[in-house]
Structure 1
Amino acid sequence: MPTTQTVAIRRATPPDAAALVRVLVDAFFDGPVADWLIPGLAERRVVYHRYFRLMLDHGLRQGRVDTTTDLTGVAIWYRREDVIPAGPDLHDELEKACGEYAPKFLLLDALFAAHHPRVPHDYLAYLAVDPAAQGRGVGSALLNHAHRTLDARNEPAYLEASNEHNRRLYLRHGYQSGPPVQASTGAPPIWPMWREAADGGAQGPDGRLR
């Protein structure tokens, strides 16, 4: 198991939103997925701010949002008893937030839904660390915090890795990688990743029995 510095974790609350949206925007601002979604950097920052504010608000209402006491990291988790499609309200809000770029965001959501495991699990939708705090064990601390609870409940976890660097981090934390998938021709690869329950359950990253 990776070693980390001591990082204090707590549940996020609505007053944390402004700081955590900045962390999400800055952490996801660069990379192949960002370049594919919104090529222009100025437009990307504007749209990302609206998008991640929507995603964070949804996580605070419908999921569990963990953060560090200094607000340098954030993890948005959901409990999935089955695949739960986004409701029409969230779909409409996403279109409003992303404007002309909404079709690619919706295409990415459709890709995630198509490969989501059809078994109960906890889903890590977003893990973000302020770029100025990266390399200090913040991401690992957020993962370890959630995994202790999952292991105590003997439950698995699932996520999508958007680049090779993140994929390696998750592999170090016990996730298994499925083959890469793409939203469309020319879209960057995304890796579905599955972490088994503590008793070594038999479900793979695609939700099928091995």
Structure 2
Amino acid sequence: MTLINLIRPQTDAARSPANRALNIIQRAFQQDPPVRWLYPDDADYRAYFPAFAAALGAPAFQEGTLGLNAGAAALWIQPGSEPDESALCEIIDRSLPAHRKADAFAVIQEMGAHHPDEPHWYLPVIGTQPDMQGHGHGSALLRPVLEICDRTGVPAYLEATTERNRALYARRGFVATAEIRAADCPPLTAMVRRPG
């Protein structure tokens, strides 16, 4: 199944873990500053952001590193895997006007430049449904992979998009390493968690 087909509702497939995760992520990121910079129009956001998130977190679906519970979804990428760059390029080409594509690619390139050099777990997307935030759903999806990181001596990396998210990740041992700025996108914070 391609990533584009993955997000299209299809009878029983619409209830698949991947589709449930993308539905949660779509609701979770409705007010996210960098995401809404990318898709400021509500119709474009609904039409294209799920495919963008699916491409960014593609290995989570393909390699079984998707975290999902009643209120949250996390697209973890294990060491040695990467986002689906060709799918990301395709969705940007298809969903953005020509004058905004270079800015979107600049943000993605800058995000990639801040990853740790050594093997690491990457969390490109985690989201909790707005009505379920603050009840530990997101933290529950961080815990198992961070335990793997501690057990195997491997760092974890993510980009925080809001002050609230930065605070949550800092409580879980992530440390800000850089502010990511490109084009006129709201800044993201690169954060690394060293194994404990």
Q: Which residue number in structure 1 is paired with residue 5 of structure 2?
A: none
- Matched to 2:192, the amino acid is W
Higher helix share: 2
Q: Which residues in structure 2 correspond to 1:1-210 (within 5 Å)?
A: 15-55=16-56, 57-62=58-63, 64-68=65-69, 70=70, 72-81=71-80, 86-87=84-85, 89-95=86-92, 98-100=95-97, 102-184=101-183, 186-198=184-196
Distance of aligned partners of 1:97 and 1:133 in 2 relative to their CA distance in 1, 3 Å threshold = farther
Q: Distance in 2 between matches of 1:52 and 1:175?
A: 22
- Matched to 1:28, the amino acid is F
TM value normalised by structure 1: 0.75
Distance of aligned partners of 1:93 and 1:194 in 2 relative to their CA distance in 1, 3 Å threshold = same
* C-alpha RMSD of the superposition: 2.4
Gaps in structure 2 of 5+ consecutive residues: 1-14
TM value normalised by structure 2: 0.80
Q: Tell me the CA shift for residue 32 of structure 1.
A: 1.7
Gaps in structure 1 of 5+ consecutive residues: 1-13, 199-210
SS of equivalent to 1:105: helix
SS of equivalent to 1:17: helix
Sequence identity, in percent? Answer: 28
Q: Tell me the CA shift for residue 86 of structure 1.
A: 4.8
Q: Distance in 2 between matches of 1:183 and 1:32?
A: 14
Cα contact 2:56–2:83 (8 A) shared by 1: no
Q: Tell me the CA shift for residue 161 of structure 1.
A: 0.5
The superposition leaves residues 45-72 of structure 1 with CA deviations (integer Å, 9 ceiling, x where unpaired) of 222133234445553115611111x3x2
SS of equivalent to 2:78: strand
Q: Tell me the CA shift for residue 76 of structure 1.
A: 1.0
Q: Tell me the CA shift for residue 85 of structure 1.
A: 7.5
Q: Distance in 1 between matches of 2:49 and 2:88?
A: 16
